[in-house]
Structure 1
Amino acid sequence: MAADTQAVIGFVGLGVMGGPMCRNMALKHAGDVLAFDANPQAFQILDGTKARRAASLAEIAAQADIVFLSLPGTPAVEAVCLGPQGLTAGTRHPRVIVDLSTTTVAGARQVGEALAAHDIAFADAPVARTREAAQRGELSIMVGADAALFARIDPLLHYIGTDVTHCGGLGCGQVVKLINNALVFENTVALAEMMVLGERAGVAPATLLDAVSKGSGDSFVLRNHGRKAMLPRQFPDKSFPPEYVLKDIQYVLELAAETGVAARVTELAQRYYAAAAQGGYSGRYFPAVIEVIDGNADLPSTTTLRKD
């Protein structure tokens, strides 16, 4: 397949990550870009670009050749792709749908199979790194697709990312993204615990981070979440809250159950973030989990967190 550098791009979901991604596509893509979001305020991020506001998903489906999604999770992706008001509801469909969201692996594969029946190619391409990286167009993108489809969408993904990795067939992008997120969440809990321990033992947190960053304990989490959020104890609203963490962790645990892996470290992290969500940090940036540790808060049991 040839690259679609002149194709009409549709973009659905202009949230914290989707808004900056759509803006970068509108600034860099040679063809037209249409955007849709249920929140009218979300379109402000596209001011000064050529992106046009679509009134509905039907308008996106009727005009776009390739549609990118940035949505909250599996149910939203299913509804946008396959629902009665979704991208497959009308007589004209996009040729390709690329999902930049984080979903379950099973959900990605099921959506892909359903779209194939409509002759629509589907790739899961979840993104990693921060909101600032999204604004700069420097995301890491993990793609699950066959080789031909990957070659087709790779140039378009470079509008929003500097590192685009073909992880394997459909669903493999989500596998890698969920593992990536689990490692970040688990590392954040571990770093928070050690920052509290170090401070109570007499080492200033800033000194601890400086020293550890020069040794083998250095990490992306230390340099970003540790320095920028946990050190100043600043956990703003409208960032990535514990509720989002818990959604991703649940996806990881579902995948672990499907593959027969006892993911006990991930289960422990789930308890910490549940305590953060229930302990006054709902809606706040997830490194606020350090406050749970600093307060020696009780953790919910895995039994109360288990979903039937």
Structure 2
Amino acid sequence: MTTQPPPVLGFVGLGNIGGPMAWNMAGKHAGDFIAFDADPAACAVLDGTRARRATSLAALAQEADIVFLSLPGSAQVEAVCLGPEGLAAGARWPATIVDLSTCTVAMARSVAARLAERGIAFADAPVARTAEAARRGELSIMVGADEALFARIAPWLHYIGSDVTRCGEVGCGQVVKLVNNALVFEHTAALAEMMVLGQRAGVEPALLLDAVAKGSGDSFVLRNHGRKAMLPRVFPQGGFPPEYALKDIDYLMELAAQTGTATAFAGLARRYYAAAAAHGFGGRYFPTVIEVVDRNLDVA
């Protein structure tokens, strides 16, 4: 019996999360792995792996059977998939495109429909958790795809994720991711308020987090963003900044408007992150929102 060779995997976007994901895929995949980033220097993250570097999207599309995307947002995903120099522009294109980015639900469904006209399968599979989880290959991945496509792509998603969940048809992965991110942003802003309040009322922040963690106020945000960033006040450049939080909240609020859903908490969180970006904390890790609270900055 003839054994089919493993598919050629492609990966586009080697940023803060994309780089570690690509590194894990390149190390775990038995077949060829080809990567591309608009910034050639970003490919250095794959040093020491068997990954090959593509010089263009067209060159990657010529070889890859399945292409994974990790890009800043909807506009970039649409351009990479369907633009004049995109993956579907040449004589040969991938059979499947899996988008690991966070985008609007409407864009995911529109791109899927237009790619389907060319016979290209598309799944939205945004990822959650931290850059550290990406390095460990322990992301949570929320997938929008029909059952057959999900079954085909799940083995490669497990290269980068410890939890891979089919959330429904195309677009549903983005629905769940946007809900997840909005909850994180809302909770981080709420925790910032309470940490500042507690300190001003006489409770040391570290003790406050320890005590709350033993009660019903414990959470992922407290244990990660609270302890690792907000407590030491360490907000490095190059992480997930307030500008990205604003993008994701705007995507969520677009979906809320389309579905007639109230999002008062998301709107308040948006004001906090907009203030962070406007008052000199742009580009820094988004839990820097605690500085907005601590400095009594205007939240318009």
Q: TM-score range by the shorter chain?
A: over 0.9
Q: In the alignment, what sits opposite 2:13?
A: 13
Distance 1:72 1:5, change over 3 A: farther
User: Secondary structure, in 3 states, of the residue corresponding to 1:279?
Assistant: helix
Identify the residue that residue 243 of structure 2 maps to in structure 1.
243
**CA drift at 1:242:** 0.3
Unaligned runs of 5+ in 1: 301-308
In the aligned structure 1, how far is the partner of 2:5 from the partner of 2:174? 25
Q: Equivalent residue for 1:140?
A: 140
Q: Distance in 1 between matches of 2:235 and 2:20?
A: 21
* Structure-2 separation of matches of 1:125 and 1:177: 9
Matched residue type, 2:192? A
After TM superposition, the score normalised by the length of structure 2 is: 0.98
- Structure 2 match to 1:193: 193
2:266 paired residue number: 266
Q: Is 1:294 aligned with 2:294?
A: yes
Matches for 1:1-308 after TM superposition, within 5 Å: 6-300=6-300
Where 1:280 maps in the other structure, the secondary structure is helix
What amino acid is the match of 1:254? Answer: E
Deviations 1:33-62 (A, max 9, x none): 000001111011100100000000001111
Alpha-carbon contact 1:5-1:155 (below 8 Å) kept: no
Instruction: Tell me, in whole angstroms, the C-alpha distance in 1 between the residues paired with 2:117 and 2:212.
Output: 53
Q: Is the 8 A contact 1:5 1:29 kept in 2?
A: no
Q: Render the CA deviation track for 1:141-187: whole Å, top value 9, x for unaligned.
A: 00000000000000100000000000000000000000000000000
How many residue pairs end up in the alignment? Answer: 297
CA–CA separation in structure 1 for the residues paired with 2:262 and 2:139: 30
Residues of 1 paired with 2:241 and 2:277: CA distance? 8
CA–CA distance in structure 2, aligned partners of residues 49 and 208 of structure 1: 44
Structure 2 CA distance for aligned equivalents of residues 103 and 183 of structure 1: 16
The CA deviation at 1:5 is 7.7
* Structure 1 stretches of at least 4 aligned residues deviating more than 4 Å after TM superposition: none
Q: Which runs of 5+ in 2 are unaligned?
A: none
| 2: CA distance, partners of 1:106 / 1:266 | 19
Distance 2:234 2:20 in 1: 23
Structure-2 separation of matches of 1:246 and 1:115: 28
Q: Is the contact between residue 5 and residue 156 of structure 1 (CA under 8 Å) also seen in structure 2? A: no
Change (3 A) 1:5 1:24: farther
* Mapped contact 1:198–1:204 kept (Cα < 8 A): yes
How far apart, CA to CA, are the structure 1 residues paired with 2:190 and 2:140? 24
Percent of aligned positions with the same letter in both sequences?
Answer: 72
Which amino acid counterpart does residue 175 of structure 1 have in structure 2? V
| Cα drift, residue 190 of structure 1 | 0.5
TM-score by length of 1: 0.96
Give the Cα separation in 2 of the matches to 1:146 and 1:268.
Answer: 35
Whichever residue aligns with residue 291 of structure 1, its letter is: E
What is the Cα deviation at residue 299 of structure 1?
A: 1.1
Q: How far is 1:262 from its partner?
A: 1.3
Over aligned residues, Cα RMSD in angstroms?
0.8
Identify if the C-alpha distance between structure 1 residues 168 and 208 changes in structure 2 by more than 3 Å, giving closer, same or farther: same
Aligned partner of 1:145: which letter?
A: A
Write the deviation string for residues 123-155 of structure 1: whole angstroms up to 9, x where unpaired. Answer: 000000000000010000000000000000001
Aligned partners of 1:5 and 1:30 also within 8 Å: no
- Could you tell me how far 1:295 is from its partner in structure 2? 1.2
Structure 2 CA distance for aligned equivalents of residues 246 and 66 of structure 1? 31
In structure 2, what is the Cα distance between the partners aligned to 1:134 and 1:5?
27
Whole-angstrom distance in 1 between the partners of 2:19 and 2:296? 38
